[in-house]
Every structure is written in structure tokens, then in C-alpha cells.
Amino acid sequence: MDNVEIMTQQTAAQLRFKAQIFHALSDSNRLEILEFLRDGEKCVCEIVPRLSLIQPVVSRHLKILKDVGAIRCRKDGTKRMYSLVDPRVNEAVDALTPDLVVILQKEVVRQISCGSSGE
């Protein structure tokens, strides 16, 4: 196996993991969890009422974020405490500025009005 092939395999693996991260960030509830954790570590018992979801659903969202390394969990007695692994996770989310969101929304509308179906 030569160096180019090894680098190609590493790049492909990185792209797959990036896709997993974007998938984890593709849910508004998970984005809300990240936003809530911006202020510091929180107990599941604090996250559940914030999202107005039942605990098993919140736990599933937390697991998805944990599986991509965005958050960490630690036990504190009977409580599970969650925190951001690195604040740059929120920086990645923040990169989608309101201005960029408006530009992208306008483009979607433009594509619809052009009758574009992937052309």
C-alpha cells in the first residue's frame, strides 16, 4: 500500500465521520441541546424540561451527540451530567450565520420559482 492510497483511505474515513457529525447536527432538538450546554454542564433532569420532550427521546438525542464526540457524559451519584467536549462544536453551528441562512433560504425559493427539479 503506497502513501497516496493510505492518505486516500484516511481522507475517506474523515469524510465519513464528518458526515456523521453533520447528521448529528441536523436535528433542531440536538442543536438546542448544544445551545443549552453552551453555558456549562447540565443534568439530564435539566435538559428534559428545556426541550419539552420525554426523557427517553432526550436520551436518544444525547447518545447521538455523544457518539460523534460532541458531548461527554459523567455520572454524579444517580445523575448523568452532560457537557460540551469542545466549544468549537458551537462555533461550527454558529458559522451558519443568520445572513447565510437568509441567502440559502432565498436560493431555495429561487430554485422553486425556476421550476428546477435538480437540473
CATH of the domain at 27: 1.10.10.10
Residue 96 lies in a domain: no
| DSSP 3-state of 85 | coil
Distances (CA, A) of 38 to 2, 33, 51, 87: 43, 9, 15, 7
Q: Find the length of the chain.
A: 119
Mean pLDDT, range 50-66, rounded to an integer: 97
Burial of 29 (0-12, 13-18, 19+ CB in 10 A): middle
Whether 100 is in a domain gets the answer: no
Q: Per the domain annotation, does 115 fall within a domain? A: no
Q: What mean pLDDT do residues 98-103 have?
A: 93
Residue 63: domain span: 3-85
**8 Å CB contact between 84 and 38:** yes
The whole-number pLDDT of residue 1 equals 66
Let me know if residue 36 belongs to a domain.
yes
Domain membership of residue 102 (yes or no) is no
